[in-house]
Chain A
Amino acid sequence: MKFCGPKLSLCGIIISIWGIIQLVLMGFFYYIRSVALIEDLNIGEDHIFKNSQEFYSTADKMYSLNAYNCWIAACLYIFTLVVSGHQFYMNNRNTMSL
């Protein structure tokens, strides 16, 4: 079954590989609480914390959440890679037989 063209499937493969590498790494960095990624945590600018404990617990929660989301997205990209790889194979096989 073929539903992607050769270019789209190639594009899918490249983005998937890139996505898997980058998202796994990002997930890892979120997991180890990297400071560089703190701006991407979903904590509003105007959020007022009563004390540092509250801030730490919120940030901790957000870090873990983002880490898991990154890994979920990476897994989805593995799925995308398989699909577009299959499509690419189908396309190539077709051009071979022609």
Chain B
Amino acid sequence: MGSLFRSEEMALCQLFLQSEAAYACVSELGELGLVQFRDLNPDVNAFQRKFVSEVRRCDEMERKLRYLEKEIKKDGIPMLDTGENPEAPQPREMIDLEATFEKLENELREVNHNAEALKRNFLELTELKHILRKTQVFFDETEQQMGTAVASQMADPNREDEQVTLLGEEGLRAGGQALKLGYSTRLLIWGSKILKRSESKFEPEKVGNFYFRFVAGVILRERIPAFERMLWRACRGNVFLRQAEIETPLEDPSTGDQVHKSVFIIFFQGDQLKSRVRKICEGFRATLYPCPEAPSQRREMAMGVMTRIEDLNTVLGQTQDHRHRVLVAAAKNIKNWFIKVVKIKAIYHTLNLFNLDVTQKCLIAECWVPLLDIETIQLALRRGTERSGSSVPPILNRMDTFEDPPTYNRTNKFTSAFQNLVDAYGIASYREINPTPYTIISFPFLFAVMFGDLGHGGLMFLFAAFLVLREKQLAAKKSDNEVWNIFFAGRYIILLMGLFSMYTGLIYNDIFSKSLNLFGSHWHTNYNESTVMHNKDLQINPSLSADYDQVPYPVGLDPIWQLALNKIVFLNAYKMKISIIFGVLHMLSGVSLSLYNYRYFKDRISIFCDFIPQVIFLTFLFFYMVLLMFIKWISYGPQNDFPDSPACAPSILITFINMVLFKNAEALPNCNTVYMFAGQGVLQKFLVLVALLCVPIMLLAKPIYIMRQQKEKHVQLVNGHATTENGDAEGAGRVVQQPPPAGGHDENEIGELFIHQGIHTIEYVLGSVSHTASYLRLWALSLAHAQLSEVLWSMVMTKGLILESWIGGVWLWFVFGFWAILTVGILVLMEGLSAFLHTLRLHWVEFQSKFYKGLGYAFSPFSFEVILNTASTAVEE
């Protein structure tokens, strides 16, 4: 039997590996990806395992590689991804790798450290350069206006009030004397090193009666307002602050961010104020720089700073070059290294799961293996042994177990997406029927019933076709956009959904809510001109051969219905019926699948006590209703006379309700009966009675049967004991004691069985009613979709066709774009998503509940491919 129908047969195997060969063998198995190892030392914690030091070394290597990668990304160097997959290196190669990484990391750290120091130097020099330049402006201003009252000069109208007050006070105190700043100030002590961020010491300088001093520095621009206020408050308005913005942003050496800063200069008098100002500057993280007072010295200093900056620039450039060279060299190999390290780590992790044999000569592993692949695995083991040069072959030994094996469904790129849909509900129990092959057809079909539109389906199909045709290139790109990845993973589902939607769209004759008249409508109007001119609504009589050809339109819906006023009424009746028909068939197929499960697991009781009554219940009630629909379609027609005319056609729903309630409806006038065929009443009563009879069978038959079987066994057991009792007097005590606990256990089990069976039956009986109704969503969504697309056309596209000149073309150009975006956004994406979710529900609840247990656990083999994929996604996050 094909593997898609059931999960693979699995075996628990014991694997003996020679210590030296273990690494190579596990590496081969990892490449193969078909073996799931079990943890044989679950109670040993991670630090006590055998290969913990190796794992740690790998962690350390990974850390170094991540650091390298971060640096490479920072510099924007493209990392070479050749897509090749190097084998896991030999253990001795690990030391080489470690040494390489160590060297690279140290080099990089050193370079970074140097670069940071250089950058800090550079920043300081640049700030100093700006200070010198800006303060020059301040001093120049003062110089120009020397001789005028400082108060008026400084009371710049733009300055804040507080400064005006400050200067006013000063002016008062100075007694109208001019404050000579700048030119007359002079610097006394000047540190030999410009760079040294030492406190600048200024000799107090006498201006009239007052000593004025100043400090200059650089502060972050956003701190300026708070800084200003703080200075004003703390110094009670006795300092004077001037500031200017540095236009170019500066680079912060530690974070690499671009920051905006401002130069400030503070004038004050007295030592107390000085210390206060200094403290405030410190508090605001302002950097103070020494600034000479004499212009000539400033000029000199500026020259010195400029040359230093130039020198630094060359050194910085060389450092960057060196760093770049190191990183480019690393970028070539980094992906390769990552893969190697991840593989080594995975191997040691796996080896940690193994048991050590007493002699320490070999490692013992337990693993789940698909039976079909044992040969391949053995080949891989042999390769591993050869590679390691060991002479003792590994031994793979099948074990018997009572544990449930894992569920392994072999998938390919086409089936895996559908398998994922099923697995999202629950992993199949071991060897249970796998719903995937049926889902591949029924899922897109039920989706398409709700999404029937040739145009929208076509768009969907084209998108998926693009994904499928370019899948190799697109897969290599490895986009980290989550939505895109979902679409890409589901490309085959979308392809089929699009294709099926095109088909149903053709049947509904809907393309963007318009109809295609491919074969010519089979309806004709025979009204004369005056009738048409004077009547608003006219009918076309299907019973007249002149009006209707009496042969239906060859494919799908006749296009004339698009123009009919009763289109929705007509379509509703049709779509509701097909929804129920598809639903009942879908559920019946689900129930039939349960037969295969019972037969496979040799569960004969369930076939007789579950399956047969279930099928009878569903067929006699709901499939009968489906048959009634076909009978109604066939036996009533417009050309027939009473009682076969459409006027006499009974409502299926009413008929069905009356059938279940044993009620007799009254026939309409001119119609003889409410029944469609002779003996329908009797047949219906029989069907309902049989169906109802199935309920107690489902409810009780199985538990009672099992109970009786156990009682029989019990009797045999007691008889058996009785005979021994007769023979052996010593065993008497034991025999008397044994049965009560066993019997109590049985009773518990029987009680549980009754409850379980009760729940199961109620679920099934009520479920078949509600699930049948649930399939009406096929009709509801299909109606909603058709109506929505019609509304979109008439509200948007029609508006593009109202202008009566060539301007209309331009207008239409614009409106079409709008309509296209809405079509994709609302009708294809949103409606598509909603139809998708409803289809998913129909499969999970209505279809799978009939046969699917989903209690298994997935087979997760040790595979480098899987580990590398998860590692790469983790890095991207």
Using a CB–CB cutoff of 8 Å, the interface residues on chain A facing chain B are 15, 18-19, 22-23, 34-42, 49, 51-52, 65-66, 68-73, 75-77, 80
Asked whether B529 lies within 8 Å of A36 as measured between CB atoms, the reply is: no
CA distance A71 to B802 in the complex (A): 15
CA distance A68 to B563 in the complex (A): 24
CA distance A51 to B811 in the complex (A): 32
Q: For A77, what are the chain B residues with a Cβ–Cβ distance below 8 Å?
A: 813, 816
Q: Counting CB contacts under 8 A, is B538 at the interface?
A: no
CA distance A76 to B817 in the complex (A): 11
Interface string of B144-161 (1 = CB under 8 A from A): 000000000000000000
Asked whether B563 lies within 8 Å of A72 as measured between CB atoms, the reply is: no
Count, chain B residues at interface, CB 8 A: 29
State how many angstroms separate the Cβ of B823 from the closest Cβ of chain A. 9
Q: Counting CB contacts under 8 A, is B515 at the interface?
A: yes
Q: Counting CB contacts under 8 A, is B806 at the interface?
A: yes
- Cβ contact of B809, chosen from A34, A38, A71, cutoff 8 A: A71
Q: For B794, what are the chain A residues with a Cβ–Cβ distance below 8 Å?
A: 39
Asked whether B563 lies within 8 Å of A35 as measured between CB atoms, the reply is: yes
State how many angstroms separate the Cβ of B600 from the closest Cβ of chain A. 49
CA distance A65 to B516 in the complex (A): 22
State how many angstroms separate the Cβ of A88 from the closest Cβ of chain B. 15
State how many angstroms separate the Cβ of A98 from the closest Cβ of chain B. 9
- Kindly list 14 other residue pairs between chains A and B, CB separation below 8 angstroms, not including A40-B801, A70-B809: A19-B813, A35-B517, A36-B516, A36-B559, A40-B798, A51-B533, A65-B808, A69-B803, A72-B809, A72-B810, A72-B812, A73-B800, A73-B816, A76-B813
Name, among B559, B797, B803, B812, the residue most crowded by chain A CB atoms within 10 Å (CB to CB): B812
Name, among A18, A36, A70, the residue most crowded by chain B CB atoms within 10 Å (CB to CB): A36
CA distance A82 to B249 in the complex (A): 41
Q: Counting CB contacts under 8 A, is B666 at the interface?
A: no
Which secondary structure dominates chain A's binding surface?
helix
- Cβ contact of A42, chosen from B532, B562, B804, B817, cutoff 8 A: B804
Asked whether A68 lies within 8 Å of B809 as measured between CB atoms, the reply is: yes
- Cβ contact of B514, chosen from A37, A49, A69, cutoff 8 A: A37
CB-CB nearest in chain A for B823 = A18
State how many angstroms separate the Cβ of A13 from the closest Cβ of chain B. 12
CB-CB nearest in chain A for B455 = A22
Do A66 and B810 form a contact, CB below 8 Å, given A15-B820, A18-B820, A36-B517?
Answer: no
State how many angstroms separate the Cβ of B729 from the closest Cβ of chain A. 93
Q: For B802, what are the chain A residues with a Cβ–Cβ distance below 8 Å?
A: 42
Asked whether B820 lies within 8 Å of A69 as measured between CB atoms, the reply is: no
Interface CB pairs A-B, < 8 A, 23: A15-B821, A19-B817, A23-B812, A23-B816, A34-B517, A36-B514, A36-B515, A36-B516, A39-B798, A40-B801, A42-B801, A51-B533, A65-B804, A68-B806, A69-B806, A69-B808, A72-B812, A73-B800, A73-B813, A76-B809, A76-B810, A77-B816, A80-B813
CA distance A66 to B805 in the complex (A): 9
Asked whether A70 lies within 8 Å of B821 as measured between CB atoms, the reply is: no
State how many angstroms separate the Cβ of B778 from the closest Cβ of chain A. 26
Q: For B808, what are the chain A residues with a Cβ–Cβ distance below 8 Å?
A: 65-66, 69, 72
State how many angstroms separate the Cβ of A21 from the closest Cβ of chain B. 11
Asked whether A69 lies within 8 Å of B801 as measured between CB atoms, the reply is: yes
State how many angstroms separate the Cβ of A11 from the closest Cβ of chain B. 8
Asked whether B798 lies within 8 Å of A22 as measured between CB atoms, the reply is: no
State how many angstroms separate the Cβ of A36 from the closest Cβ of chain B. 5
CB-CB nearest in chain B for A50 = B533
Q: For B516, what are the chain A residues with a Cβ–Cβ distance below 8 Å?
A: 36
Query: Would you list which residues of chain B between 2 and 38 have a CB under 8 Å from chain A?
Result: none
State how many angstroms separate the Cβ of A76 from the closest Cβ of chain B. 4
- Cβ contact of A36, chosen from B562, B803, B806, B809, cutoff 8 A: B562
Q: For B816, what are the chain A residues with a Cβ–Cβ distance below 8 Å?
A: 19, 22-23, 73, 77
CB-CB nearest in chain A for B797 = A40
Q: For A69, what are the chain B residues with a Cβ–Cβ distance below 8 Å?
A: 801, 803, 806, 808-809, 811-812
Q: For B820, what are the chain A residues with a Cβ–Cβ distance below 8 Å?
A: 15, 18-19
The 9 closest A-B pairs by CB, nearest first: A72-B809, A73-B812, A69-B808, A73-B813, A76-B813, A69-B809, A42-B802, A40-B798, A73-B809
CA distance A68 to B801 in the complex (A): 11
CB-CB nearest in chain B for A30 = B801
CA distance A15 to B818 in the complex (A): 10
State how many angstroms separate the Cβ of A81 from the closest Cβ of chain B. 12
Name, among A37, A66, A73, the residue most crowded by chain B CB atoms within 10 Å (CB to CB): A73
Q: For A80, what are the chain B residues with a Cβ–Cβ distance below 8 Å?
A: 813
CA distance A49 to B532 in the complex (A): 11
State how many angstroms separate the Cβ of B209 from the closest Cβ of chain A. 67
Q: For A39, what are the chain B residues with a Cβ–Cβ distance below 8 Å?
A: 563, 794, 798
Q: For A18, what are the chain B residues with a Cβ–Cβ distance below 8 Å?
A: 820
